[in-house]
Amino acid sequence: MTRLSYIDYHTCGEPVRIVASGYPALAGATILDKRRQARERYDHLRRAMMLEPRGHDGMYGVIPVAASHPEAAFGVLFTHNEGYSTMCGHATIALGRYAIEQGLVRATEPVTRFAIEAPCGLLRLACEVADGKVDAVSFESVPAFVEARDLVVPVPGYGDVTTDIAYGGAYYCILPASRFGLDLMQTPVEEIVAAAGALTDQVRASVSITHPTEPDLGFLYGTIVTDEAGPNEDSFNLCVFAERQIDRSPTGSGVTARMALDHAKGLISAGQSRRIRSITGGAFTGKVIGPVDFPAAGAVTVEVGGRGHLSGEGSFVIEADDPLGHGFVLPKRFAEIESS
143-147-150 Cα angle (round to 5): 140
Is residue 88 flagged as an active site residue? yes
The active-site residue out of 88, 120, 127, 173 is 88
* SS3 sequence of the chain: CEEEEEEEEEECCEEEEEEEECCCCCCCCCHHHHHHHHHHHCHHHHHHHHCECCCCCCCCEEEEECCCCCCCCEEEEEECCCCEECCCHHHHHHHHHHHHHCCCCCCCCCEEEEEEEECCEEEEEEEEEECCEEEEEEEECCCEEEEEEEEEEEECCCEEEEEEEEECCCEEEEEEHHHHCCCCCCCCHHHHHHHHHHHHHHHHHHCCCCCCCCHHHCCEEEEEEECCCCCCCCEEEEEEECCCEECCCCCHHHHHHHHHHHHHCCCCCCCCEEEEECCCCCEEEEEEEEECCCCCCCCEEEEEEECCEEEEEEEEEECCCCCCCCCECCCCCHHHCCCC
- Is the Cα dihedral 281, 182, 302, 216 positive or negative? positive
Torsion of CA 36, 14, 270, 275, to 10 degrees: 170
Question: Which of 227, 263, 264 lies closest to 273 in space, CA to CA?
Answer: 263
CA distance 117 to 137: 16
Please identify every residue annotated as catalytic: 88
